[in-house]
Structure 1
Amino acid sequence: KEEEEPEEEDEEEMGHAETYAEYMPIKLKIGLRHPDPVVETSSLSSVTPPDVWYQTSISEETIDSGWLSALQLEAITYAAQQHETFLPNGDRAGFLIGDGAGVGKGRTIAGIIYENYLLGRKRAVWFSVSNDLKYDAERDLRDIGAKNILVHSLNKFKYGKISSKHNGSVKKGVIFATYSSLIGESQSGGKYKTRLKQLLHWCGEDFDGVIVFDECHKAKNLCPVGSSKPTKTGLAVLELQNKLPKARVVYASATGASEPRNMAYMNRLGIWGEGTPFREFSDFIQAVERRGVGAMEIVAMDMKLRGMYIARQLSFSGVTFKIDEVLLSQEYVKMYNKSVKLWVSARERFQQAADLIDAEQRMKKSMWGQFWSAHQRFFKYLCIASKVKRVVQLAREEIKNGKCVVIGLQSTGEARTLEALEEGGGELNDFVSTAKGVFQSLIEKHFPAPDRKKLFSLLGIDLTAQSNNNSPRDSPCKENKIKKRKGSSSDESESESDASDNEESDNESSKFLSSGDDDDFNPFRDESSEDDEDANSNTNSSFVTSQDAVERAQQMKKELLDKLEKLAEDLPPNTLDELIDELGGPENVAEMTGRKGRVVSNDDGSISYESRSELDVPVEILNITEKQRFMDGDKNIAIISEAASSGISLQADRRAKNQRRRVHMTLELPWSADRAIQQFGRTHRSNQVTAPEYVFLISELAGEQRFASIVAKRLESLGALTHGDRRATETRDLSRFNFDNKYGRNALEIVMKSIVNLDSPMVSPPPDFPGDFFKDVRQGLIGVGLINVEDRSGILTLDKGTWLFRKFLNRILGMEVHQQNALFQYFSDTLNAVIQNAKKNGRYDMGILDLGSGDEKVRKADVKKFLTPGYSTSGHVELYTISVERGMSWDEATKLWAEQTGPDDGFYLSLQIRNNKKTAILVKEVNPKKKLFLIYRPNTGKQLKLETCADLKKKYKKVPSEDALPHWLEQYNSSADTCTHAYWRGNCKKAGLGLVCEVGLRCRTYYVLCGSVLSVWTKVEGVLASVSGTNVKMQIVRLRTEDGQRIVGLIIPANCVSPLVNLLSTSDQS
Structure 2
Amino acid sequence: MAVFTDENGNPRSEPMIDEQGNPVLCRAAVAARDRMIEQLCALPPIAPALDAIIERFGVDAIAEVTGRSRRLIVGADGRQKLQSRSPRANLVETKAFMDGDKRILVFSDAGGTGRSYHADLSAKNQARRVHFLLEPGWRADAAIQGLGRTNRTNQASAPLFRPVTTDVRGERRFISTIARRLDSLGALTRGQRQTGGQNLFDPADNLESSYAKEALHRWFGLLFQGKLDAVSLRRFQELTGLSIENPDGSLADDLPPIQRWLNRILALPIALQNAIFDEFLGLVEARVDAARAAGTLDLGVETIAVERYEIVSDTLLRTDTISGATTHLLELEIARALKPLTFERLEGLHALADPQHRPVRNVRSGRIALVVPARSLLTDEGARIARFELIRPLKRTWMSADDLAESNWEPVDHEIFRECWRGEIDEAAASLSVERLHLATGLLLPVWDKLPVDHVRVSRIAARDGRSLLGREVPAAHVPALYRALGLGEGAPLAPHVVVEAVLATGRAMEVASVDPLTLKRSLVNGAQRLELTGWLAARLDWYKAQGCFTEIIRFQTRLFVPLETALDVVSAITRG
TM-score (norm 2): 0.49
Structure number with the higher strand fraction is 2
In the superposition, the TM-score normalised over structure 1's length comes to: 0.28
Of Structure 1 and Structure 2, the greater helix share is in 1
